[in-house]
Amino acid sequence: MITIIQFALAWLAAAFLISSGSGDGRRAARFAAAAGFVLGGGAAVLLGRMLPAEGAAAVARGVVAVLFFLPAIAGVLLLYRNAGVEFGSLVPAPLGIPSVTRAALAGAVGAAAGLLAVLSAGSRGLPMATGVVAAGLLLHAPAGWAGSRVGKRLPLTGETLALALVALLLFMGSLSPRLDLFAPLCMKLMKFTHDFVHQFFESMLIPDHLFFSGEAWNVIGFLFGNDVGFWGGLAIWFAPLLLIAGGTAREPLPSVAHIRQGAERRTVLAGHLRERRRRLALPFFTTLLLALAVYRSLHPAVSYWDPKPMPVSADARGEIAIAAKGEGYDLDDGRLHKFLYRQGKSEVRFLVLRKPDGTTAVTLDACAICQPQGYGQGEGAVICWYCKTLIPLETVGEAGGCNPVPLPFAVVDGGVRITAATMISTWDSTVQGTKNVPGGK
């Protein structure tokens, strides 16, 4: 319920801002936002029927990611314009938002919000989607009316409006782990850094176990750690905000050479400075919104199933038998079940999951990329506790990426049998290496 309220408040704020400020085209922008919300909701239904849940969520994240570049580009152009570089009509005047620009932006944001709203509801059915879209339109009408009346004096520019609306979309996405953008952004940066360093070592013919100094290994460990992804993600996350705030703060003062009276010149300059400070109020609000989205991404309001691993042993043939039902577990309940096998100094955690299609997956409780912190299970997906990546239940048991490492097994009487030696070998060859290097493999 709290998540629904937060999403509704974000959509109310977006509808209010779309109708606020000065200039023409606010009514057209309100209509474009409402129409976009309906189209986005309809697109979510189609995507839900054509693609698996993770595929539809990936499309929604892609739409928001494309919109993320709008304020970034606008911020770069604003900096150049205030540095004296002319772009003609490419960048609107600071105090005016062209009606076409406002309507196009409103329609795009409305469509993305409708897409996120229906996918966040977690249902692919038309009745649920219709209810979500109807609720969005009911919220949009009074918020748009309030923006056209109360928000007339808000000092909006095209840049700050785009920034605030995109920040609201990022916050909406952060309310659902499947639609969140910050965690995947950090993961991709971490993987890019890892692959770049690895390819650099290979291209320079540097052996894997060269005798580096302790300081050099600390640097390599940092590059392979999740801190690179996190801080790099933060830099990209807040880049449009910094560009637009910096461009607004660098706006040149008007020429007052033609004004003879010193007091009048000071009044004109003071008024301009006051107006510039007012235009920085919305970027300040956006800072709080983006920070809140990061917090929600790092601390999702979702409860995950993370059972305590149950110890098992191998028989005389070196096989581990997991019955279909045992003390404290039932493989047919659709939940993730964890087991722990010890042999001498070796210790291996593994998972058994009966997927929604009825097939069984047996994997290590770790992947070949991240440190082996294990997985939890949420709605329709498992989550890597280290990098917070969501893996759809349908793909558990498949190799690659952050998926848990699959194990060979045999289904016997509804249960599974696993060769202990093969499992230990797989753990040592694909997981033990990620344990020794900070941040993963």
Distance from the first to the final alpha carbon of the chain: 39
DSSP string, 237-303: HHHHHHHHHHHHHTPPPPP-TT---HHHHHHHHHHHHHHHHHHTHHHHHHHHHHHHHHHHHHS-S--
The reported pTM is 0.73
Residues of the chain falling short of pLDDT 70 = 1-2, 22-24, 84-98, 122-125, 151, 198, 201-202, 204-226, 301-302, 432-441
Structural tokens at position 287: 């800072």
Which candidate, 435, 439, 423, places its Cα nearest to that of 351?
A: 423
Three-state secondary-structure class, residue 176: coil
Which ranges of 151-180 would DSSP assign to H, the alpha helix?
A: 158-174
Q: Which residues contact 77 (CB under 8 A, 6 or more apart)?
A: 87, 90, 91
Count of CB atoms within 10 A of residue 223's CB?
16
User: pLDDT tens across 244-297, in order?
Assistant: 988 888 877 777 777 777 787 788 778 778 888 888 888 899 999 999 999 988
What residue ranges do the domains of the chain occupy?
2-185+225-298, 310-436
Q: Candidates 2.102.10, 1.20.120, 1.20.1460, 3.30.70; correct CATH number of 310-436?
A: 2.102.10
What's residue 88's pLDDT? 42
Q: Which phi-psi region, left, alpha or beta, contains residue 308 (left: φ > 0; alpha: ψ -120 to 50)?
A: beta
What's residue 395's pLDDT? 86
What's residue 87's pLDDT? 47
Three-state secondary-structure class, residue 363: strand
Burial of residue 191, with CB atoms counted within 10 A of its CB: 0-12 exposed, 13-18 middle, 19 or more buried: middle
What's residue 211's pLDDT? 55
